[in-house]
Amino acid sequence: MSRGHTLPELLTVMALAAIVAAVTVPGVAWVTGRAAPGADARSFALVLRRAQAAAAASGAIVSVRLIDQGLAYECDQAGAAGPVAVDRGVFHETCSSNYPGDVVQFGPWGWPCAQGGRPRAGSFTFTRSGATATVVLQMGGRVRWQ
């Protein structure tokens, strides 16, 4: 009575495992790549909401700006001695915005404004592999992502 496997049986199983891996790994990478803009948009929406809440709570202007060609952001709060850094982070993808200078400011009521304090709605867009995710700031201060 034989309990082992022959070499051709083991090679067949290994070949099938290699074929399955070759088919699934690129698919997983493609799905992960298409999911990155959505993950960046969700996390950036939270950054904007925190900045908005900080502005409303303190009564000071809080600015969020894109830096490093849209690969990162920084957030600062106006203080008596100048801006104070509040937050900084990086994205998986490049972000673009329709705000002048890629800067949104939140005033004492938490409404989004362009530099100079004029209320303004706007958006931030993340794109990769044909997938797009957008964070929208409405005039009334609502922050949403899609």
Could you list the pLDDT tens digit for every one of the 146 residues in the chain? 567 778 788 778 788 877 776 676 665 555 455 567 888 899 999 999 999 999 999 989 999 999 999 999 999 998 888 889 989 999 888 899 999 989 999 988 888 988 877 888 999 999 877 788 999 999 888 898 88
Q: For every residue of the chain, which 3-state class applies, written as one string? A: CCCCCCHHHHHHHHHHHHHHHHHHHHHHHHHHHHHHHHHHHHHHHHHHHHHHHHHHHHCCCEEEEEECCCCEEEEEECCCCCCEEEEEEECCCCEEECCHHHEEEECCCCCEECCCCCECCEEEEEEECCEEEEEEECCCCCEEEC
Domain boundaries, the chain: 36-145
| Model pTM score | 0.75
CATH topology of domain 36-145: minor pseudopilin epsh fold (3.55.40)
